[in-house]
């Protein structure tokens, strides 16, 4: 009494035969005469002869017509023996288009020209899988190098931190000493100047020089370039650039040694400041570099500092991973920033799977948003940027193939697919590729 229902997946068939927990079957009648069928959602019970009779009785869920197109909301399962079974919308059944490699969706269509291509499809698919596997394996071997390099360099970087920090602290200590010396010399100079002052009362105090402005600007720029500067330095900056007031010739000669000593000492302190900020800057760089997420095992670290290019007729697109994406005009229109990397902008697609990088806050579009770029990260045996698109105004999509994105799991999956061949009959209900909630099939 085995009944085969056209258009049902093996899981669906089995559930029916077993009279198990699945609905779609009126359990009360199944074992006696099997003459009725209850719609999956329980909305209706119909004679079993109306299953797959090309009339939709279960209008709310389409469950009585898994093998025809009578229900607008139904699904059809193609067994595709020799290849992989799949579920298609019932709208595809008998519409003249071959959706299943076994031609089962068009089997009842007298005009169907569908041939069984499952074997060829499977061969083709295997060929594709083999190629993909080769690429993946090649990528994985390169990835290993990336990981090793990342481990080595990141370890070195981490190690260098304490070393540099120690150097900085030494320099700071030295700077304190030298600053004290400078302050002392300054004081001596002032005292010497004060000692000479009473004799010179006739000389009016020099007007506050206005021309100090340019020097001050230069100074500020220099500081700005070096990054932040401390309060103390800022205070110093205020008087440092003041040019010596015009002084009496005789006074000059007597003060000269003091002035000279102070000047030299200031240079010493300034030199130390520069050294400190240089060290601090490199420390910051290192800290930033090691704080980034380079993906699982830091495999993507190896891409740092490199840039990759993709061409369209009008532009060359440039991806510098963990830095920026640019669009460079081929007609001499210059370069446009499409976005820069920020760890905090990354979505789960990057954080957990390393599938998608986001580059944000690019150059603002005229009348639109800031440009941004999404880079789809794919496994490759080489680092290749490709397929630049602008699906929405000023929102760019690129594909980036890199060994860093190859995974052992995927290689394993491909190997399994290649060795397994057709394993349709072995599928358990949970694994049947059907829409959620489609219990029967």
Partner 1 sequence: VDRGKYKTCSQSSFCTRNRGVTHDGYHIANLHRKSDSQFTADFVSPYLQGRSLTFELTGLLDNTVRVRVVESLPKRYQGPLEVLEPLQEAKLSEKQKSSESTEFTLNSHVTVRIDFYYDGRHTLSANANDFLNFEHLRSKEEDDKIVPSQIPNDEATQPEDYNEAESGPWQRPTKENPKKSGRWEEHFGGHQDTKPNGPTSISMDITFIGSRYVYGIPEHASSLALTPTIRVGDANEREQVTDPYRHYNLDVFEYELNNPMALYGAVPFMIGHGAHGSSAVFWLNSAETWIDVETTTKDASGREKVGTQWISESGNMDIFFIIGPSGHDVLRQYAALTGTTALPPQFTLGYHQCKWNYKDETDVANVDSGFDSHDIPYDVIWLDIEHTDSKKYFTWDQNYFPTPKNMQEKIGDKGRRMVTIVDPHIKREGGYHVHSQAESNNYYVKNKDKNDYDGHCWPGSSSWVDYLKENARDWWEQLFSYYNYQGSTPRLYTWNDMNEPSVFNGPETTMNKDALHLDGVVEHRDVHNLYGMTMVNATARGLIRRHADQNERPFVLSRAFFAGIQKHGAIWTGDNTAGWDHLAVAQPMLLSLGLAGVAFSGADVGGFFGNPDAELVTRWYQAAAFQPFFRGHAHLDSKRREPWLFGEPYTSVIRDAIKSRYQHLPLWYTLFYKNTLTGLPPMRPLFLEFPSEEKIWNNQDQFLVGRELMVVPVTRSQQTTSRVVFPGAQKWYDITDGSSHAGGTEEEVNVPLEKYLVYQQGGTVVPKRERARRTSQHMDTDPFTLQIAVSREGTAEGELYVDDGHTFDFKKGVYSYNQIKLENGNLTYKTLGGVYESQLLIEKIVVYGLSSAPSSVTTVSNEKLDFSYRNGKLVIRKPNLPATREWSLQIKA
Catalog residues that contact partner 1 under the rule CB under 8 A: 53-57, 69-73, 89-92, 95-97, 312-314, 367-368, 389-393, 395
CB of 365 to partner 1, least distance (A): 8
Phi, psi of 343 (to 5 degrees): -55, -35
- Taking the complex as a whole, how short is the minimal distance between the CB of residue 232 and partner 1, in angstroms? 52
Closest CB to partner 1 among residues 89, 413: 89
Cα distance between residue 283 and residue 289, in whole Å = 10
Report the nearest approach of partner 1 to the CB of residue 59 (Å): 9
Q: What are the residues facing 45 on neighbouring strands?
A: 38
Least distance in angstroms from the C-beta of 391 to partner 1:
6
Give the span between the Cα atoms of 85 and 83, in whole angstroms.
7
Cβ-defined contacts of 13-21 (< 8 Å, 24+): 14/429, 15/429, 15/439, 15/440, 16/440
- Cβ closest to partner 1, residue 53 vs residue 233: 53
Residue 390 or 424 having the CB closest to partner 1: 390
Length of the chain: 441
Neighbour count for residue 53 (Cβ, 10 Å): 16
Please give the angle made by the CA atoms of 112, 79 and 433, to the nearest 5 degrees: 120
The H or E element that residue 132 is part of is: helix 118-196
Between 56 and 411, name the residue whose CB sits nearer to partner 1: 56
Minimum Å gap between C-beta 88 and partner 1 is 9
- Minimum CB separation from partner 1 for residue 173, in Å? 58
Nearer to partner 1, 25 or 71 (CB): 71
Looking up tokens 């349709």, which residue turns up? 424
**Which sign does the torsion angle of CA 430, 433, 438, 441 carry?**
negative
Of residues 92 and 143, the one with the C-beta less far from partner 1: 92
Helix (H, G, I), strand (E, B) or coil at 276: helix
């Amino acid at each position: 009494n085995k009944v085969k229902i056209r258009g049902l997946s093996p899981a669906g068939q089995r559930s029916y035969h077993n009279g198990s927990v699945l609905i779609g079957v009126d359990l009360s009648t199944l074992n006696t005469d099997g003459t009725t069928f209850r719609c999956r959602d329980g909305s209706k019970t119909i004679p079993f002869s109306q299953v797959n009779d090309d009339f939709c009785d279960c209008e709310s869920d389409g469950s009585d017509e898994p093998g025809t197109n009578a229900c607008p909301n139904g699904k059809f399962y193609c067994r595709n023996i020799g290849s992989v079974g799949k579920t298609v919308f019932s709208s595809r059944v008998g519409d003249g288009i071959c959706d299943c490699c076994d031609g089962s969706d068009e089997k009842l269509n007298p005009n169907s020209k569908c041939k069984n291509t499952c074997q060829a499809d499977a061969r083709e698919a295997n060929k594709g899988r083999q190629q993909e596997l080769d690429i993946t394996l090649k990528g994985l071997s390169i990835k290993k190098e990336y990981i090793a390099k990342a481990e080595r360099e990141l370890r070195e970087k981490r190690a260098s931190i304490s070393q540099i920090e120690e150097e900085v602290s030494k320099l700071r200590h030295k700077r304190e000493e030298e600053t004290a010396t400078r302050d002392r010399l300054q004081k001596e100079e002032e005292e010497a100047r004060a000692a000479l002052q009473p004799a010179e009362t006739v000389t009016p105090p020099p007007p506050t020089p206005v021309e100090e402005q340019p020097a001050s600007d230069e100074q500020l720029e220099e500081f700005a370039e070096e990054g932040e500067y401390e309060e103390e330095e800022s205070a110093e900056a205020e008087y440092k650039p003041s040019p010596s007031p015009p002084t009496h010739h005789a006074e000059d000669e007597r003060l000269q040694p003091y002035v000279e000593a102070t000047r030299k000492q200031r240079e010493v302190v300034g030199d130390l400041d520069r050294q400190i900020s240089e060290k601090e800057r490199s420390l910051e760089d290192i800290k930033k570099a090691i704080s980034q997420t380079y993906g699982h095992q830091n495999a993507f670290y190896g891409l740092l500092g490199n840039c990759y290019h993709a061409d369209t007729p009008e532009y060359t697109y440039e991806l510098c991973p963990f830095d920026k994406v640019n669009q460079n005009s081929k007609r001499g229109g210059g370069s446009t920033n499409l976005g820069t990397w920020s760890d905090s902008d990354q979505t789960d697609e990057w954080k957990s799977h390393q599938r998608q990088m986001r580059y944000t806050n690019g150059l603002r579009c005229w009348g639109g948003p800031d440009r941004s770029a999404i880079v789809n990260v794919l496994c490759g045996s080489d680092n290749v940027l490709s397929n630049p698109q602008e699906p929405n105004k000023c929102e760019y999509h690129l594909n980036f193939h890199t060994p860093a994105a190859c995974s052992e799991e995927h290689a394993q999956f491909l190997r399994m697919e290649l060795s397994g061949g057709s394993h349709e009959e072995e599928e358990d209900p949970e694994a049947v590729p059907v829409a959620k909630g489609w219990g029967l099939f």
